[in-house]
Chain A
Amino acid sequence: EMQLVESGGGLVQPGGSLRLSCSVSGFTVNNNYLTWVRQVPGKGLEWVSVIYPGGNTYYADSVKGRFTISRDNSKNTVDLQMNILKPEDTAVYYCAKGLYNDYWGQGTLVTVSS
């Protein structure tokens, strides 16, 4: 069974950093596209970042230069390092499999507030 489980969310001050992790089971991260999508509570979905099987990475303009996606093949995890966080980064962050996302985690809430 394919499962994704996010962790690492929480409360952080503006300008701070946070690292989210997505633990994957049932498939390997190095052979699949892994995506981060976020959602402000009560609002729509926003695509954030993707890492290709070959290692290429892409980012939304809103996070480019501040967020970094990476993977650890030995742990079968995908991480999202978030720096210089802003209040508008407050959202539930989901990791998901694929370019079109056929499997999703349950999400982890990130709150950026002083």
Chain B
Amino acid sequence: EIVMTQSPVTLSVSPGERATLSCRASQNVRVNFAWYQQKPGQAPRLLIYGASTRATGIPARFSGSGSGTEFTLTISSLQSEDFAVYYCQQYSDWPLTFGGGAKVEIK
């Protein structure tokens, strides 16, 4: 099983600042990689797939990069609605696996 490790677990950021989240895969997943955002009481929302392609309707302040085993999600200027939990996922090999999540909270 491919283990996905996210860091940091919690990130405290002020509105308007930049946030950078990382995810490491225990094996090469190429670009078969996605990021999701989840707010309390809601289903997750797809942000990024293919490691760097924004999903439909996702603002340009969200960007993804990386390939292989190291991936990054950057939120260029945090808005109030961006405070949430973020998950990474690999869909390269079975079983598909998610990271443990990273909470972006207001500083």
Contact = CB atoms under 8 A, between A and B. Distances in A.
Interface of A: 35, 37, 44-47, 50, 58-61, 94, 96, 99-102, 104-107
A46 B95 CA distance: 10
Nearest to A60: B95
B44 A47 contact: no
A27 to B, nearest CB: 14
B60 interface: no
B46 to A, nearest CB: 5
Contacts, number: 51
A100 B97 contact: no
Interface of B: 1, 34, 36, 38, 43-46, 49, 55-56, 87, 89, 91, 94-101
Given A102-B46, A105-B43, 16 more contacts: A44-B98, A44-B99, A44-B101, A45-B36, A45-B98, A47-B95, A47-B96, A47-B97, A47-B98, A61-B1, A94-B43, A96-B43, A99-B91, A100-B49, A100-B91, A101-B36
